[in-house]
Structure 1
Amino acid sequence: MSTEDTHRLIAQLKDLHYGTPSDTALRNELYDALIRATVAIESPLDTVRRLSFAPLQLSIAKIAVDLNLFEIIVNQDGPADVAELAQVTKAESLLLRRILRYMTSFDMIAESGPDSFKASTKTKSLATPGFQAAIKHQLSWPQRPAYLCDTMVNTIRFSFEAQLPAWVAMPKFLHDTNYQNPIDPRHTAFQQAHATPLAAFEFAMTRPELFADFSKWMALQRHDQPTWLDVFPIERISQAAKTIELSQPVFIDVGGGVGHQCAALVQRLPELSCRVRLQDLQPVVERAIPGTGVEAQAYDFWTPQLCLNAAFYYLRNVLHDYPDERCRVLLEQQLPALGASSVLLIDEMIVPSVGASRHGVELDIAMMASLAAIERTEGQWADLFRSVGLCVVETFCYDPQTGQSLMVVVPQTQ
């Protein structure tokens, strides 16, 4: 299909918002064709995400039913903002904003502006008692089909075994906590679902097969996806290497897993291989990618940074695993190590205030359910960094669809 044909088809599909066939049989045929077309154009990663996150829609719909959100929004004379809805539902504003953002992305409701929501074409149906009874019924089944564990692998298995129980438990957990935004990693729907006092990462470490699935998913989730190296001027890294002593590391990957980002950087700048350092916990760095020339160092990022005065300290998808309070502790462990020209490179998703992607809102709710963590907006990132004396001086977005970006962060006095 040519680019011109593709654009023409997209325009025709957008016209469906203004009306669908009145003939039921024809509409069903169109619906089936669109579903098949959606699957046909999926990348392998799209397929994994669809299968992994699909149950989350039912959990969010159940929370919306419990809060009476569909009926409240349908009965509004016009758009309602988060503050108004929070007052009516008694839910915390931050939690409610995250739930509403997810609902918007999946067309359960519509977005009319920043923090402003109204009924979509589907909201009225979802507000009826019959549809709400169906949502409650579907989430009430206590048993789950065990055969799935043996037929799905890696991401699917991890989502089913670790995340799905937390998503099923989430409506009751939020009800029991008066719809307050979770901020304690040891008090989430995950602990309720798995009957454990352990934080999710601690729990995973006690289940080797679960941790193995998680590690494989982390390694493959961005396969063939854009990376920060596609947009960041890496000549800055080469230039920085010339200004500090040869014995000094230039680039530190903090909490970098087995070193995929280090390996990618060294592939672009092979002359720096011995000056790139990977840091993570001992059991993790023991499995570091071999043959890259990268130095692997055992380090716990809850303790003071071991390497002083490096040019770049890179953290990829670390901060989104934790609520603000824990992020502040983590960042404060890095700050004393920064030299006069050191910078932090923070590789994270930036959720837009309006029009968040489906994948972004899925991750946000998943992080909340299991980790009491959050995918942050630009303003939330700025507030977090400001609270520890840091500021963002540049942002390089390398995946506009998800908002995945590299933020260049420095001390406010620098």
Structure 2
Amino acid sequence: MDNVTPTYYGLGNHDYDNNVDDCLLNLCAERSLKFLEASFSKWQVEDKDVIRRNDGVWQGSYGYSKTVGAITFIQLNNHYNYSRRFTSGTNTHYEITPSLDWLEKQLVKAQANGKFIVINLHRPPADSTYGSEADRERFYQLVNAFKVLAIFHGHTHEAARRASIGVTPVYDSGASFKQTFLVSELDEGANAFTTFLARNNTVGSTPLDKVDIRLLPPLPTFSFQNQPGGGAIVATLAYDNTPRSFHLPIIELSIDGGAFKRYTPSNNVILMYDLKPRTTYTYKTRLYLAAGGNPIRVDDGSFETPAIESPPTDLCVNFFDAIDGWFELKWKPPTPPFTMPYAIQVEANEPAHATWVVRSIGEFRQTTTQVVRYEEKGRNPFNMSYSVFYWSPTLGYSATATLKGEDLLKSGCQY
């Protein structure tokens, strides 16, 4: 392998799995793991899933990730669910673990770095030899969530395209003793990931398969926040902006059947201002991949804005009467203020106790003070936490102001 550059390999069942308890003193399996682990520093991998614990046990899946150009390659070795424990003749202990948790971290990192992702492993992804159906489903969900560009596996000694996982093609990579293998090319300019099949160690000129690198994003998602100045909501309309989604240089947006407005969004995101709280809006978007011409897709749907999420502020103790066992809470109203009709609820909560509703919204009282008679309830005021929130039929619930019991005597009102 040292004479073939660059070559990054992974372990299959013949390299370590089949050799456990089937080769002198497990030295064959150990040697495979040691050779791979020693290669990590030489290959300058970004991450590896193996540690030597304080008790001397080598633990991990021995997976690794390596970025070459625009692609982060993630090697999972035999299978993402493979696990095994063994001891070698050198009295070294090995604990091979599944790699799904480590894989998820690598996917997050690669996506954050704007890289396409290719996963390599030995057994086919759907192989049920190891792990559970839930484990396999988690793998499929990760592949779909991060829109992995391609998966390559071996083991069957065949060379072909297999069933996709969502938009991710799965390839059976061939076998050297059959003189078959695959070669893939990434062409971002042509938006193509093309795979060729080699027979008799000769790469064919006709592609075995060709898939788009970048795809149109799914329908947009919406998030909301209070608009500065009060009384309105800002909505964020966001199309997926991960490496396999097209950047949309132009989006046209119509709200409630109004005229279309053209945006040149950053990161596939549009901000919509001056929206009413607790209101359902319809939208229509026209997506363009370049200026001029027709939209490549038209989307429509609806979204509902939330209530203004402004909590009461400066919740504090205005007076504390330890002799008669009561104190008075005080607070400032949310900003912008709720308009009539509205109500205020005050609660006291203590672990292992039911919530004590000191003042209910059913009372429709608007005063910004509340007496809490804890002695009448037989409660320790310092073990409880206190919360205040507003409600109105038009704005719904405000966010909640809270005060911990341990902070009661520290929170003297300064206004």
Return the TM-score normalized by structure 2.
Answer: 0.23
Higher helix share: 1
**More relative contact order in 1 or in 2 (CA 8 Å, sep 6+)?**
1
Larger radius of gyration: 2
Higher strand share: 2
